[in-house]
Amino acid sequence: MIDVGGRQLGETLDPEAVRHVLDGSVRTAPRPDSAALHLPDAEVREHRGLFRALLVVLDAIALALPTLWLGTPLPYVAVLLVAALAVLASFGSHRPRISLSALDEAPRHLTRLGLGLLLAAPVAHALGADLSLAVHLLWAVPCFVAGRSLGYALVRGARRRRLVGSPTLVLGGGRLGMDLLTTLDEHPEFGLRGVGFLSGGSPLDEREPLGHMEDLDLVLDTYGVRKVVVAYGPTREAELVGLVRSAAERDIEVYIVPRFFDVGLSPNGPDVEDLWGIPLHRVRRAALRRGVWRVKRVIDVAVSGVALTLLAPLMALLALAVRISSPGPILFRQPRTGHDGAEISILKFRTLRPAAPAPAAATTGSTRSTMHARQIDVEQRQTRIGNLLRRTSLDELPQLWNILRGDMSLVGPRPEERTYAAQFADSVYGYRDRHRLAVGLTGWAQVHGLRGDTSIEERARFDNSYIEHWSLWRDLVILVRTVAAVHRQAVTAARSAAR
């Protein structure tokens, strides 16, 4: 076994390759000792950008042909191409797939092309183009399928000649994992070049694993892996969760073979690939690796900046009320745990009297007792104006500055106090994983009522679910539900004060 930085890696790794990983001098795949690992001498690249460019060009030609022989004005043709290609791109239609079949994909593309034509229809009307959308779609679909078929044929040919391909690692040393490696070698048209497998148990045949499951990061770097396939085997699923998330956070495509797929229980949809009869479910890329995450940041800056400007008079009145209510500063600063465990200092309107000694449960006991002790401490030190601010969530308004600075986002897992976060990270399953994204002013757990003296385990579950399924639309849903919840709290607080 080779010891690298205190970790042991399987004997099949070339020591010279490990040295190159440590000094960062090379990223190509070395030839292992095991004959079961089929690595070509020349470096094979994915050429994903070329793949996308080819499909975009063929899609544009296929969509333009019907407009030309139908006598459509050229300005409308240009608008149609832009609208249709934008819709296709937004749905990931140009993403390099494993299994390429233009006919199988045609039903999905039909609705997307229809949406593109619908978006371009107002331009056609303004130009006076006498064009029926149904007629155009009737001609566009077969041209589109023909263009895709040509493009896929070219890509499959390049894959069979091993001119393009993705270094692929299999997680799991069971029978299915071995079958996957054999399939990758016998069917290069899928564009997956098997570099080997990792296993938590003993191999089933003469093929030796590249290492153990905990060696994933080192193997990914050593072999330049671009895709990971998770095949259930002797390794427990709980042990694979962290490994899968670690790979997904890097720019690596992760696929999972569904359990019981051979009895018809596998999922369907655009994220499911067919690898010679074996379904592969693609894990969505981590939110931080997506280009659309930059759009989220732009929205954060715009909304927080406008909100701080419009709410400045209200925040000034609240600051005066806090100053009058009790001795102490107006703003409360507290170190909390942010993205990737970094320390951030969040701002809130002070709602409590000067701090009493920390409760004993802050560092000991169960998570439930810890939260309960904290809730009691808050109730004992809360001021009257502080009670109103908490019930209406107005005490959170200064965090708009944190959002503008980039410490937080509008939507994300709520930041926890550093002391409690350290305790929960050691006692609550999945709690560390909730720090994969920037923390937020509101979150998926909060709109489900999980705030205050509620289950930390359930909060972690909701936060991780939000991260795994993140989208701008979900952020909008959370913001709308947050506004509705704050409105209800304000009405309830006003009724209570009137009594």
Tens digit of pLDDT for each residue in 123-168? 766 766 555 666 777 788 889 999 999 999 999 999 999 888 999 9
**40 domain-assigned:** no
0.85 exceeded by pTM: no
pLDDT at 409 over 90: yes
Q: CA separation (Å) from 474 to 436, 449, 468, 469, 477?
A: 17, 17, 11, 8, 5
What is the pLDDT averaged over residues 175-202?
A: 89
pLDDT tens digits for 86-131? 889 888 888 888 999 999 988 888 888 888 878 877 776 676 655 5
Residue where one domain finishes, among candidates 160, 185, 201: 160
- The radius of gyration of the chain from alpha carbons, rounded to an integer in Å, stands at 28
CATH of residue 274's domain is 3.40.50.720
Residues 278 and 369 in one domain: no
Query: Tokens at residue 230, please?
Result: 């998770």
Q: What is the C-alpha to C-alpha distance for residues 242 and 421, in angstroms, rounded to an integer?
A: 19
Residues 425 and 477 in one domain: yes
Residues 78 and 143 in one domain: yes
**43 domain-assigned:** no
pLDDT tens digits for 256-292? 888 766 656 666 777 888 899 889 988 876 566 666 7
Per-residue pLDDT, 25: 36
pLDDT tens digits for 365-392? 566 666 666 667 666 677 888 888 888 8
**416 domain-assigned:** yes
Per-residue pLDDT, 345: 93
pLDDT band at residue 414 under the 50/70/90 scheme? very high
**Candidate ranges 14-23, 99-108, 201-210, 384-393; pick with highest mean pLDDT:** 99-108
Per-residue pLDDT, 408: 94
Instruction: Work out how many domains the chain is built from and give that number.
Output: 3
Residues 342 and 434 in one domain: yes
**Over pLDDT 90: what percentage of the chain?**
29
pLDDT band at residue 314 under the 50/70/90 scheme? very high
Q: What is the C-alpha to C-alpha distance for residues 304 and 409, in angstroms, rounded to an integer?
A: 9
pLDDT band at residue 399 under the 50/70/90 scheme? very high
**38 domain-assigned:** no
Residue where one domain finishes, among candidates 253, 285, 317: 285
Residues 465 and 324 in one domain: yes
* Parent domain of 281: 2-31+165-285
Which DSSP string corresponds to 114-137? HHHHHHHHHHHHHTT----HHHHH
Query: Tokens at residue 394, please?
Result: 């107005």
Per-residue pLDDT, 115: 85
Residue where one domain finishes, among candidates 258, 285, 312: 285
